[in-house]
Amino acid sequence: MGEAPILSVRDLSVALAPAFGGRRLLDGISFDIAPREIVGVVGATGAGKTVLAKAVVNGLDQTLSASGTVRFRGRDILGLDPRAMRPLRRDIAYVGANPMGALDPTLPVGRQIAEKMRAVAPGVTEGEARRRVIALLEAVRIPSAARRFHDYPSQFSGGMMQRALLVDAMISDPALLVADNVTQPLDVTVAAQVIRLMRELTAQFQTAILFVSSSLPVAREAAARTLVIDAGRLVEEQPTDALVARPVHAYTRELVAQIPTIWTGVPAQPRSREAGAAPRPIISLEDVSQTYRARERGTFAGTGELRAVRNVTFDIAKGDSFAVVGESGCGKSTLMRLLSRLERPSAGRILCEGQDIARLSGGALLRFRRKLQLVLQDPFDSLPPRTAIGAMLEAPLRIHGWRDAARIRDKVRAVMNDVGLSLALYDALPLGLSAGQRQRINVARAMVLDPEILLMDETLSALDQTEQFRLLALFDKLQSAHGLTYIFISHDLAMVRKACNRVAVMYLGEVVELADNERLFFDPGHPYTRALLSAMPTLEERRYRPEDCLLDGEPPSPIDLPAGCAFRSRCPRAFAPCAGQSPALVTRGAGDFASCHHVPAPGAGLAQAVAMGSTG
């Protein structure tokens, strides 16, 4: 490579301690990383990626034993005790994929990061540290960073916490950063910004980065060279572009083949409504808004209105696979809580087959709960670790009045077969199961009540691309067999392209575009949609260039919304009318809508359309 490597790994093997079975997790891994280099690591769940990441920073727990060498700047750090490692922690940083438990819940996020900065750089004043932290929080697109500096971890979403932990890692300008699936919980625009920041880190501070990812397209965006791990072994190492174009190992070829196409070839078409039938709404939203009271920092009792969802109207037809997409903080999760009747809207109505769900109570509410079931994001924390899998799946039936033990057991076994779970797991605990198996348990727990609607809140975002591929095939099979309606809350546009026939795009609480799959991906009507599509990690040639579309800056605060179009401060096509009036959703034909002043109103003449187009 010319330069001496900053990290040199030789014949690294990791196994469970004999008391825990002695199974080998890594087997003879060797590679180097030079200063300023970003090296990717990809592989399926269980391949050993996270074990490798933790071994490299000497972070393995006591149930694991390691052999081989991990040399940082020539010194073997594998097995150093915590006291010997402490001086190196300034130069070696690790960010994992589970952000919510990483910081002290009793202290504000910004204060914790600033304290770390002052610990590694004692000459920095409190004010300087605060300004540096806020600047980095803004760089990773934390909305209202100065205000968020004082917020506690519980007040951050998962995506925002992941970005805060990246700031925590970068604050000491480390020589080696190990980023373990850090972009997986992030939406596409923020992930693109994070990768850009990592490149800047390598350029400015000669930081070397080991970039672990479950997604080969994401690794390609970040890394010039990529390692492929399968079953604990390094099976291929190539420059990333060459690895994608000419994979050598059979496992690498399988990984490349599983990546869904977006614009080229013939992607798997999502299930469509029956031709010729008038779509019958199973869910209808009518001018739905949700507003919270938020305390104004710096005042004794002042509050402001946080408008999380604003005037949302759309229908979901029976049998649809409907997606709601957008950046972190756009209102997707709030909309999920409203759709599932975990909250009542501040204004407007949500109808399920004509019934206003906010007015349901007692038996009517219980019947709605049976009709609409949730499948949540986290496949680990959503399952009680000390409850047998069969008992988990029996619980919903007992809550809904089932009493016959034999009938309950038969129903649970049938659903386990349906979702591809081994019946041998009935009396087993979920310990040791992969993320994909755990998510199948969550799907079974929802399906056991024979619902009509499944609400998927980032259900696939914690899974690698192989598990996603398998779960999407399962969802397609279940929808065909049971006539299900799916609502996907997601930031993964590649998954949406493959799985959904209709898509709503949200920005700052509003739906800014609503369209069928093909129209949205090939002819988006809103510049925000185009920006999301330009930031998608893909192995294809992009239809929309990031340099033309990618967003800079942060969204306005939902507590202090600007006049006019809320997107105009970030829009490359903003012009005078955008400052004066918020655009309404207008039809683009055949059920497609967009809220942009550049979209001609129905019946607009050719001259108006040309005039609007000329401003871009």
pLDDT tens-digit map of 508-559: 999 999 999 999 999 999 999 998 998 888 888 888 877 777 666 567 777 7
Q: How confident is the model at residue 610 (pLDDT cuts 50, 70, 90)?
A: very low
Return the minimum-mean-pLDDT range out of 210-224, 270-284, 473-487: 270-284
Residues 230-267: pLDDT tens digits? 989 999 999 999 999 999 999 999 888 888 788 886 55
Give the per-residue pLDDT at 402.
93
Give the per-residue pLDDT at 615.
41
Q: How confident is the model at residue 423 (pLDDT cuts 50, 70, 90)?
A: very high
Give the per-residue pLDDT at 552.
63
Q: How confident is the model at residue 608 (pLDDT cuts 50, 70, 90)?
A: very low
Which tokens sit at 332? 């997707």
Which tokens sit at 139? 């760089």
Q: Are residues 292 and 157 in the same domain?
A: no
Domain ends where: 146, 171, 196? 171
Nearest to 99 by CA among 86, 114, 112: 112
Q: How confident is the model at residue 399 (pLDDT cuts 50, 70, 90)?
A: very high
Buried b (16+ CB within 10 A) or exposed e, 385-396: eeeebbebbbbb
Q: How confident is the model at residue 37 (pLDDT cuts 50, 70, 90)?
A: very high
Give the per-residue pLDDT at 543.
84
User: What DSSP assignment string belongs to 60-75?
Assistant: --TTEEEEEEEEETTE
Phi, psi of 130 (to 5 degrees): -60, -45
**Overall domain count for the chain:** 2
Evaluate whether residue 411 is within a structural domain. Answer: no
Q: Are residues 163 and 308 in the same domain?
A: no
pTM of the full structure: 0.82
Domain ends where: 143, 171, 199? 171
Averaged pLDDT of the chain = 85
Please return the burial class of 500, using the count of CB atoms within 10 Å of its CB with bins 0-12, 13-18 and 19+.
buried
Determine the angle formed by the axes of helices 188-205 and 158-170, rounding to 10 degrees: 0
Q: How confident is the model at residue 601 (pLDDT cuts 50, 70, 90)?
A: low
d(CA 224, CA 241): 8
Give the per-residue pLDDT at 411.
96
What is the mean predicted confidence (pLDDT) over 24-46? 91
Q: Which of helix, strand or coil describes residue 230? A: strand
d(CA 422, CA 499): 25
User: Residue 14: is its pLDDT beyond 80?
Assistant: yes
User: Residue 613: is its pLDDT beyond 50?
Assistant: no
Instruction: Please answer whether residues 529 and 512 qualify as being in contact, where contact means their C-beta atoms are separated by less than 8 angstroms.
Output: yes
Instruction: Please answer whether residues 159 and 299 qualify as being in contact, where contact means their C-beta atoms are separated by less than 8 angstroms.
Output: no
Q: How confident is the model at residue 302 (pLDDT cuts 50, 70, 90)?
A: low
d(CA 286, CA 358): 13
d(CA 203, CA 68): 31
Return the minimum-mean-pLDDT range out of 43-52, 226-235, 358-367, 418-427: 43-52
Instruction: Please answer whether residues 586 and 602 qualify as being in contact, where contact means their C-beta atoms are separated by less than 8 angstroms.
Output: yes
List strand residue ranges (DSSP E) for 231-346, in order: 233-239, 281-295, 303-317, 321-325
Evaluate whether residue 535 is within a structural domain. Answer: yes
Q: Which amino acid is at 66?
A: A
Domain that holds residue 118: 100-171
Q: Are residues 339 and 475 in the same domain?
A: yes
Domain ends where: 142, 171, 200? 171
Asked whether the CA dihedral 473, 476, 480, 481 is positive or negative, the reply is: positive
Nearest to 191 by CA among 551, 569, 464, 571: 551
In residues, how long is the chain? 616
What is the mean predicted confidence (pLDDT) over 282-308? 80
Evaluate whether residue 120 is within a structural domain. Answer: yes
Which tokens sit at 511? 């739906």
Q: Are residues 166 and 291 in the same domain?
A: no
